[in-house]
Structure 1
Amino acid sequence: MNIFQDWPEPIVPIPIIDIGRLCTDDITLQTKTLDQISKACREWGFFQVVNHGMSPQLMDQAKATWREFFHLPMELKNMHANSPKTYEGYGSRLGVEKGAILDWSDYYYLHYQPSSLKDYTKWPSLPLHCRDILEDYCKDMVKLCENLMKILSKNLGLQEDRLQNAFGGKEESGGCLRVNYYPKCPQPELTLGISPHSDPGGLTILLPDEQVAGLQVRGSDDSWIIVEPAPHALIVNIGDQIQMLSNSIYKSIEHRVIVNPAFERLSLAFFYNPKGNVPIEPLKELVTVDSPALYSSTTYDRYRQFIRTQGPRSKCHIDELKSPRS
């Protein structure tokens, strides 16, 4: 089952990078790999990673577990329904209007770290053993994010712990999982799985559905480009917080999700974010006379609240935080 040929938009493979090469003794290969990541962060804001350290078996188990959950009867899923007071748990955006476009997805959102926010009672209890699989999956995701933060710092010419420290350190950085389930849609021309946006946090690591196309990235010519996942690859994208910290050297790119009339689709997005109350502003090492600070100082908590009050507005949120001096 592969429906890529059904899409009129161009399919362009975003960079696929073997980050296992960074663990070799070949300095030339290490340097080439770092350069590939640097170019992807600066030009694309998206890239795929292979040999990333997570086992293919665990990736497949995680997707199979969530697919089984979303196929449960509604009364069982609603045992974990979220509430107006919390986003955590099971929810639905099916037929929810955002401007002129309807969202078309169910989702499940949960916190993994810091430990003070992890609440297993909000994790699904079915299917059996799902919590053990989720624990292993999120643990490996945090390891990958911490490794990527070192790489991104190094490519900016900074100490390898610089971005991590700007997030509040390893223990205080946030990690959360949103699983998106897109049922078959009878009128896909009237809906989007997720409306156009850039991710407000730091890093997003996406485990995509390899069989059904859906994720689209805004190209430099303003076109929508379909992302074709590589087998057992993970898709990495830069969030707004890292764009601000890097003084726009790294780019947070607008993207959206398209639904399909014939096939359902599932994806797992792991978000790695700064601690909510630490100041986020261009790092002083990256600010010069020729490259002044582009953004005013904020916090992740304030930024998220700003987005909630403004509603979906593509990339407008981060643009409104640009410093008057820029």
Structure 2
Amino acid sequence: MEIPTIDFSELNGENRGKTLALLHDACEKWGCFQIENHGIDKILMEKVKSHVNSHYEKYLKASFYESEIANRLLTGCTTDVDWETTFFVSHHPKSNVAEIPNLSEDLCNALEEYIAQLINLAEKLSELMSENLGLDKDHIKKCFLGESGPSIGTKVAIYPQCPHPEPVRGLREHTDAGGIILLLQDDQVPGLEFLKDGKWVPIPPSKNNRIFVNTGDQVEIMSNGRYKSVLHRVMPKKNGNRLSIATFYNPATDAIISPAPKLLYPDQFTFGDYLKLYATTKFLEKEPRFESLKNMTNGQTGVVS
């Protein structure tokens, strides 16, 4: 079972329709996918990863192995802990970079440049998802705005090599609360897994700096369940540290979230009204029938073609 891969270079040519269909299928059936040829500077991506790994080795590694999390692994009390060391960078609406201890100027500068490019990719993805759902291309972007624009932040995580990985999780099973999550991950050490059709599917390390994307709970709500937020987890490994730089393109905290009206099922109709339409459209697609009911319940004249 191989995770879908979306080639963004195909969006400007004759394969645009096929690429959009692949993206739509990934959002509906997987809730995650990879992007290649995304346009983000790959040299810059390597700089970000290198600086984060250096930061871990210099400032986080020793304290992690002396931490309560590491001690609890030795005593077997690991059911409610995550084998990870992290820090969270808020980018918008307000930066907290100056408040995070020991971040080098090189790391801050590389991360700032990378995030600026990544936001453009996140916005493009939101437009493509809106288009695939039959909505105005700016629908998701507008819903995320609130008073001060979307909430954008990055969880920087290292999942250190674990001497006894069996009883612990790197990160316990969860769905993401927000919108669109874009992950720059390790190109050597695996560990990320997504639940697909009742089975845990390992996500391979990202070769050639592909961006891994998954959709959060708010996208599932806005799409009226069409696009899924999916359970995922991180499994620790005995050999090697796994790098994870996950950027969250989320709604503003004051953004009002609801399903797009165009995607809602019709409501407030009588079964008699439905039967009248059904009698003449029984062997046709049901979606136009539902659209006609929406029009009727909005006080408009419904016509089924």
So what's the TM-score if we normalise by structure 2?
Answer: 0.80
The verdict on how the C-alpha distance between 1:159 and 1:73 changes in structure 2, with shifts beyond 3 A counting, is closer
C-alpha distance in 2, partners of 1:92/1:21? 48
Q: Is this contact kept in 2: 1:207–1:267, CA < 8 A?
A: yes
Count of aligned pairs: 262
Measured against aligned partners, the alpha-carbon deviations of 1:171-214 in whole angstroms (never above 9, x if no partner) come to 51011000110111011001111000011000100111111111
Shift of 1:219: 1.4
The verdict on how the C-alpha distance between 1:75 and 1:196 changes in structure 2, with shifts beyond 3 A counting, is closer
Residue 242 of structure 1 pairs with residue 219 of structure 2: yes
Residue 136 of structure 1 pairs with residue 113 of structure 2: yes
Shift of 1:110: 1.0
Q: Is this contact kept in 2: 1:203–1:239, CA < 8 A?
A: yes
Shift of 1:126: 3.6
The verdict on how the C-alpha distance between 1:191 and 1:30 changes in structure 2, with shifts beyond 3 A counting, is same
| Of 181, 189, 192, the match for 1:215 | 192
Shift of 1:281: 1.4
Could you tell me which amino acid in structure 1 is paired with residue 159 of structure 2?
Y
Q: Is this contact kept in 2: 1:95–1:102, CA < 8 A?
A: no
Measured against aligned partners, the alpha-carbon deviations of 1:91-118 in whole angstroms (never above 9, x if no partner) come to 996567998253100001010011xx21
Q: Is this contact kept in 1: 2:91–2:153, CA < 8 A?
A: yes
Which moved further from structure 2: 246-255 or 222-231?
Answer: 222-231
| Of 58, 80, 83, the match for 1:72 | 58
Could you tell me which amino acid in structure 2 is paired with residue 17 of structure 1?
I
Which moved further from structure 2: 280-289 or 31-40?
Answer: 280-289
CA RMSD of aligned residues (A): 2.5
Q: How does 1:110-149 map to 2 (within 5 A)?
A: 110-114=89-93, 117-123=94-100, 125-149=102-126
C-alpha distance in 1, partners of 2:104/2:172? 30
Residue 21 of structure 1 pairs with residue 7 of structure 2: no
Q: How does 1:284-323 map to 2 (within 5 A)?
A: 284-289=261-266
| Of 225, 232, 238, the match for 2:201 | 225
SS at match of 1:48: strand
So what's the TM-score if we normalise by structure 1?
Answer: 0.75
Residue 160 of structure 1 pairs with residue 137 of structure 2: yes
Q: Is this contact kept in 2: 1:218–1:253, CA < 8 A?
A: yes
SS at match of 1:145: helix
Residue 201 of structure 1 pairs with residue 190 of structure 2: no
Bigger proportion of residues as helix: 2
Q: Is this contact kept in 1: 2:72–2:78, CA < 8 A?
A: no
C-alpha distance in 2, partners of 1:133/1:170? 28
The verdict on how the C-alpha distance between 1:49 and 1:74 changes in structure 2, with shifts beyond 3 A counting, is closer
C-alpha distance in 1, partners of 2:24/2:147? 22
Residue 45 of structure 1 pairs with residue 31 of structure 2: yes
C-alpha distance in 2, partners of 1:218/1:37? 18
Shift of 1:136: 0.4
Shift of 1:77: 8.3
Q: How does 1:48-63 map to 2 (within 5 A)?
A: 48-63=34-49
Structure 1: 5+ residue stretches without partners: 1-11, 79-90, 293-326
C-alpha distance in 2, partners of 1:96/1:43? 38
Could you tell me which amino acid in structure 1 is paired with residue 186 of structure 2?
D
Q: Is this contact kept in 2: 1:93–1:104, CA < 8 A?
A: yes
SS at match of 1:153: helix
Q: Percent identity?
A: 32
Measured against aligned partners, the alpha-carbon deviations of 1:270-299 in whole angstroms (never above 9, x if no partner) come to 001001112211111111228x9xxxxxxx
C-alpha distance in 2, partners of 1:166/1:96? 43
SS at match of 2:20: helix
Q: Is this contact kept in 1: 2:157–2:243, CA < 8 A?
A: yes
Q: How does 1:255-270 map to 2 (within 5 A)?
A: 255-270=232-247
- Look up the match of 2:287: none
The verdict on how the C-alpha distance between 1:29 and 1:74 changes in structure 2, with shifts beyond 3 A counting, is closer
SS at match of 1:247: coil
C-alpha distance in 1, partners of 2:258/2:106? 42
